[in-house]
Chains A and B, each alone.
Chain A
Amino acid sequence: MKAIYFAWVRERVGLSEEEITPPREVETVRQLVDWLAARGDGHAAAFANPKTIRAAIDKTHVAPDAPIANAREIAFFPPMTGG
């Protein structure tokens, strides 16, 4: 699946997107955040405080316990500041 990052998540990870293949036991958004955090220093900095991270699967907001099994694209970003 494709992981996409926005705002300070993107800056800390150092990438705007990447192709990821999490292992089968990574089933939820929360577990994927923990798995991503272990990919490197940038990822660790971006995902250090999971409470500040929001996620969307295939362009729809999802909760941390949402399953990732059928996701094509999963985005991570800080709380939104539009308007």
Chain B
Amino acid sequence: MRVTPTIRVQAGDFDSAREEALLTQRRRDVGAVVAFTGLCRDENGTLAALELEHYPGMAEEEILRFANEALLRWRLLGLTIIHRYGVIRPGERIVLVVAAARHRGDAFAAAEFLMDYLKTRAPFWKKERRIDGSDSGWVAAKSEDDAAASRWER
């Protein structure tokens, strides 16, 4: 059966537990669910918020492209990806990937693959706003993230 991924790009918060439950309710064939939630992190007590800018339209399309790639590579029974934009404060949720499968190997691999691609290929940009009111500029892309994504290349 073909799996249709659920993809949302939204300003508002999401409920990780609810999204996970939606993927498994009323079915008996799911043996593994991996849910990854990415949070806004304050490294040294100076971050007021992240401002996430995105490219409307392309963000959804690009996430759908990776989601379909994940569905080709692994045997998944359900897939949900949510990415927020706008002002997000430390401790708040930014991104959710939930992968459901018969077996854990497929669910783990798909979730990790999707997060690596979201970091480097989805059109989102983070700006840091400091507690003292200053903005410390745009978060620079990390070479570790590029390396993490490139290991999935075929």
Please report A residues at the B interface, Cβ cutoff 8 Å.
Answer: 4, 6-8, 56, 59-61, 75, 77-83
B interface residues, Cβ below 8 angstroms from A: 38, 52-55, 57-58, 61-62, 83, 94-95, 115, 118-127, 137-141, 145
Chain A residues whose C-beta falls within 8 Å of the C-beta of B38 in the assembled complex: 83
How many whole Å from A80's CB to the nearest CB in chain B? 6
Cβ B140 vs Cβ A59 within 8 A: no
CB contacts between A and B, total, < 8 Å: 73
Q: Are A83 and B61 in contact (CB under 8 A)?
A: no
Q: Contacts A79-B141, A80-B123; is A56 near B118 (CB within 8 Å)?
A: no
How many angstroms between the C-alpha atoms of A59 and B137 in the bound complex?
A: 25
A61 vs B145: C-alpha distance when bound (angstroms): 18
B55 touches A82 (CB 8 A): no
Interchain CB contact under 8 A, A6 and B53:
yes
